[in-house]
Amino acid sequence: MDLSVNLGNITLKNPFMPASGTFGYGLEFAEFGDLSQLGAIVTKGISLNPKKGNKPPRICEVKGGMINSIGLENVGIDNFQEKLKKLEDLNTSIVCNFFGNTFDEYISVAEKLSSFRRVDVLEVNISCPNVKEGGICFGTDERMISELIGEIRKVIKKPLWVKLTPNVSDITKIAITAEKAGADALVVANTYTAMSVDIASRRPKIKNIYGGMSGPAIKPLSLYNVFRCVKSVSIPVIGCGGITDISSALEFLIVGARAVQVGTANFINPKILWNLIDDLNGYLSREKISLMELIGSLITE
Ligand SMILES: Cc1cc2nc3c(=O)[nH]c(=O)nc-3n(C[C@H](O)[C@H](O)[C@H](O)COP(=O)(O)O)c2cc1C
């Protein structure tokens, strides 16, 4: 079956890719399957300088998922360039997730990443506080998003995906702003702010008190956000949040996501992305429907 999907200015061999931060820099998962078979590899969020992240405990399990407050630990752009060399021969697209603590940092990382030949797509994580503007999250402020995406667009020539935060009152406003500012596709969405308490010690289970919730419990929330974004913008939407098996992936495709990202489920079954490729093939042949017919085929009346 033809599983290829067109995402505007890039075509992936299938709709399945990992979600940033849950698949290392790619090679960590090479022992579980042929990385070249995946629709794309999405690397851990990269910043200008190396980042140690938050103090532990920084992850905890909750019913239906997990909460993390890793604090965007990463090796920094220069060390990342070295890691990228090891992905040179892979026959799949490489999507590099990145972020900054300030406007200027975002622009510098984008410019550098875009100059690396092996980077196919830049995925900007806007769920970060702007330390120069009192810590307001870039991704919740339409003015900041508009300026940020507009400026990044000016310094890069590669496709730009914008990964939205769902922690806003109306995600479609943010989606439309990102589209107008020059995003080529949207990833919907990042984690949901959450917390959990250990009743024996009466302390938060996460040192940072709160973190981002991911895993199967958020799937209906993300699915709804994808549904609304697909209706609001004309650029492709990539679904992300709580996918654990083929039926959850299919739900996202049926509401109109052109591709999907899988995060937390990689920790439970590190072969899940390869399993999803086989299962999608099986589903499409059984149902005698092409992937293109399936995407966005939701019936609402
Ligand atoms: C441990 C961990 C680290 C993450 N790191 C990043 C990151 O660096 N950049 C980013 O945009 N999202 C990051 N995320 C969010 C995921 O990419 C994804 O959006 C989220 O987990 C929802 O998908 P899921 O329910 O399939 O896990 C991280 C998530 C987890 C669980």
What are the E-state strand segments in 80-168? 93-98, 121-125, 129-130, 136-137, 160-163
- Between the CA of 291 and the centroid of ligand 1 the distance, in Å, is 26
The confidence band for 280, taking pLDDT boundaries of 50, 70 and 90, is: very high
Q: Specify the pLDDT at position 164.
A: 97
pLDDT digit string (tens) for 141-166? 999 999 999 999 999 999 999 999 99
Return the best residue to mutate from 138, 226, 264 for the ligand 1 pocket (most ligand atoms within 8 A of CB). 264
The full set of domains in the chain, from first to last, is: 5-53+71-193+215-294 (3.20.20.70)
Sign of CA dihedral 169, 171, 180, 137: positive
CB 174 within 8 A of CB 142: yes
A 10 A CB-CB count for 173 gives 13
Q: Specify the pLDDT at position 133.
A: 83
Q: Which residue has the tokens 């998922």?
A: 65
Closest atom of ligand 1 relative to the 20 alpha carbon: 17
Angle between helices 171-181 and 142-155 (to 10 degrees): 30
User: Terminal CA-to-CA distance of the chain, rounded, Å?
Assistant: 30
pLDDT digit string (tens) for 45-94? 999 999 999 999 999 999 999 999 999 999 999 999 999 999 999 999 99
The confidence band for 134, taking pLDDT boundaries of 50, 70 and 90, is: confident
Q: Which residue has the tokens 């679904």?
A: 239
Return the best residue to mutate from 67, 127, 191, 226 for the ligand 1 pocket (most ligand atoms within 8 A of CB). 191
At 60, is the secondary structure helix, strand, or coil? strand
Read off the pTM. Answer: 0.98
Residue 129 clears pLDDT 90, i.e. is over it:
no
Hey, what amino acid is at 257? A
Residue 135 clears pLDDT 90, i.e. is over it:
no
Q: Specify the pLDDT at position 117.
A: 95
Q: Which of 29, 14, 44, 45 is nearest to 249 (CA)?
A: 14
Q: Which residue has the tokens 């970060």?
A: 128
74 vs 129, which has greater pLDDT? Answer: 74
pLDDT digit string (tens) for 201-244? 999 999 999 999 999 999 999 999 999 999 999 999 999 999 99
Distances, alpha carbon 154 to alpha carbons 95, 158, 275, in Å: 19, 11, 39
- Between the CA of 19 and the centroid of ligand 1 the distance, in Å, is 6
Closest atom of ligand 1 relative to the 216 alpha carbon: 25
Residue nearest (by alpha carbon) to ligand 1 atom 23 = 241
Query: CB within 6 Å of ligand 1 — which residues?
Result: 19-22, 44-45, 68, 70, 72, 97, 125, 163, 190-191, 214-215, 218, 240-243, 262-265
Opening angle at CA 114, ends 136 and 266, nearest 5: 70
Closest atom of ligand 1 relative to the 190 alpha carbon: 19
Residue 196 clears pLDDT 90, i.e. is over it:
yes
Query: How many percent of the chain have pLDDT more than 90?
Result: 96
Angle between helices 219-232 and 171-181 (to 10 degrees): 50
Residue 131 clears pLDDT 90, i.e. is over it:
no
- By residue count, the chain amounts to 301
Q: Which residue has the tokens 């052109």?
A: 258
Q: What's the rounded Cα separation, in Å, for the pair 34 and 58?
A: 30
Closest atom of ligand 1 relative to the 44 alpha carbon: 8
